[in-house]
Chain A
Amino acid sequence: MKDTVQNSGSGDPGGSITHEDIDRARDRLAVARARELSATGRRRWLRLLWLFLGPGVLVFLGENDAPSMLSYSATGAKFGIGFFVPFILLTFLMAYVVQEMTVRLGAVTHRGHAEVIFDRFGRFWGWFAVSDLALGNFLTLVTEFIGVRAGLSFFGFPPVVSVGGAMIIVFVVVATHRYWTWERIVLGLAIFNGLFVPAALLAHPQWGAIGHALLTWTPSPRGGLLKPDTILILVADIGATVTPWMLFFQQSAVADKGLQPRDIRNGRIDTLVGTFLAAAFGIATVVAAAPLFAKGIDASSYQAGEFAQALVPLIGHVGATLFALGIFEAGLVAAITISASSAYAFGEVTKAPHSLNRPLREGKGFYGILMGSVLVAGALVLIPNVPLEYFVLIVNVIAVLALPPALLFLVLLSNDRAVMGEHTNTPLSNVAIFAVTAILVIAGLGFGLTTIFPHLLGGGS
């Protein structure tokens, strides 16, 4: 049953208020009430933490997706505990530097990343940015369903059941048409990314070796860092942590959640929590797969289900089960967040309603892109004899290669005083983001050189 009231409020710029605005105001009311609690109380701090956890945790646990966890598994199986453990930690620090800027941009502009790029750089550059995003997102979405299929194949589920079931979960979650509810459900699912931690513990890791690797970055990969297959793993591990969709998703989610400039500190904490959890779970995946390296098993061509099967004799059936469930979760949560990223970007560039607070009937384009991309990607995975392994092989690499232009837009926007006011980058932020961009370009060029000239750097397969 519905009712209507006259909108007589003053200060409403367009004379209209939508459900999206009302739901966002409700979230702001919860924040305002939490801030009224005793200023020094732990309860207040915990309440605010609970209210603000969301975009940062989701973007990082979303990026711990199926191809990322397979990349970490391949790292552990191929190189064991050594150089790559601190390297993965470094990639997460790089990701934090990047994502923190999207928090500020979203809180200050109240707009998504694609929308701000279109507004400030025009349609020509805007479409380039969104085209990169759309291609990367679709390929990544396909790999998420490959992960879903592979993870549940360990338990004997046929592909149509596992992929179809995952698609239904995505649709049910968005059908809540409430950002807060969507966010809480996905956070609940995403925490199962932590399944890789008990899987790692069941591998009986040598804590001394992990500590030694973190402090000394050794042992180095056999044959050095310049071997083509080592560079591929390096680039894939970067791509498992820092990708274009993360920029677009977090800024859009921050805007949809309704963060304001005074919430930037809370948004940073959310992002930091996400960084810590994702780094811990990523390193746990390396540790869980490291017994394959210790036993000298060649896992270079393993898919998710094969990793889990290969781990049964090494970490037990329980450990392998947790690993397979973790891969399923990684694919499912990323399918939810990446499809949302595509839908946000579509709505932002077309100026159509683009909020998870919108009822389905008011956000047909937004929900259409979200559900349509999920349907097509899922269906592709169910077609027999499609060479899907190349999607997984290359999707993280494509993410790294497409990132430098996206980072340039991010740097320009976060230094744009007309947009950001007092919240522009500090000199330290700029040094950090330029270092991140340089690492990405060098890694990309290294990948390019070793691909075109495989023997140039003394490597070869």
Chain B
Amino acid sequence: MKGRDRSLIKCILFILSVCCVVSCSHEKRPLVKDATAMDTFLTVSVYDEEISDEQAFAMMDSAIAEIRRVEMMATDYNDTSEVGTVNKHAGHDSIIISSELNSLLETALQYCRSSDGAFDITVEPLVKAWDFLSERPQTPTDEQIQTILRYVGYKKLSIINRTVFLQQPGMGIDLGAIAKGYAVEKALQKLRSGGVHKAIVDLGGNLGVGWRGTKMFDSTVASIYIRHPRKDGQYFGKFKVGNAGISTSGDYQRYFIEDGVRYHHILNPKTGMPVRDLVSATVVSSNATDADALSTLIFVLGRERGMELLRRTNGVEGLLIFQQGDSLAFTGTPKILSSFSRTPTDD
């Protein structure tokens, strides 16, 4: 056989094997599972090619179950959850809680203390009064808000030896500003422990990217798109991450318009009113729990104090969108800005 003929055969075999690999791998990854949990949409995507489909699907089920387990612990919509039980007994009984909830509450309380109450997990009565999820949400009266504010304040929540007590009847814990991020983090841990090292967990825009061997910002891994706050179905921009937790708090996620004024769900725990400064705050952190809590906290703090907090917090980056005249503008920390690119829109 002539060398030229051998080369032709080798070439054909090579092209065939490339075809096979490309078409097979293209079909198989990512493997995706969708579900609903914590009142929102959940997607788990696995990109590892080193593990079998069966193992990947089993681990995705396990991650979804983990998120539902966290929901059952942390939701305040259910009297039988741990948080629901604490709320039901507010002002009357101390409740012994699991070490896991104890640890999550301690993490949340650190944010409450360090922010002097700008982040406050006892806003449950306020959230209930505004009821953004009802059919016709409406603004509570000033008098109602002032009354409700008497039941808000993290200093009236005590935790000693895994025993929680809310000092007044009518008080309540709402972990809505941290629980989704925590659930994402736990799901990523579950995936890692099962040998999945390239995955994305998306719980209603609270994202966890678990990508072994990558840094928080890695241009070779995942593109994170920020939803456009004022343009339905469009993106404001995108940036690249590796191993990271990402969360955005915005005035467009749950809101209603009354007399031409936008009332949104991120409330100032001290005034009881929606915070007016930023349009959205996106935070990237090494873990999703912190990203979730910090996006809410920074939104409440506003542009100047939010940027200050970002600058002095190690390992955390943020991008803040705000209204400037008729259009939207943005600012942020250097690392995220260097990776960020605007999506062309007309604002």
> Does B associate with A?
no
Interface residues of B (CB under 8 A from A): none
Interface residues of A (CB under 8 A from B): none
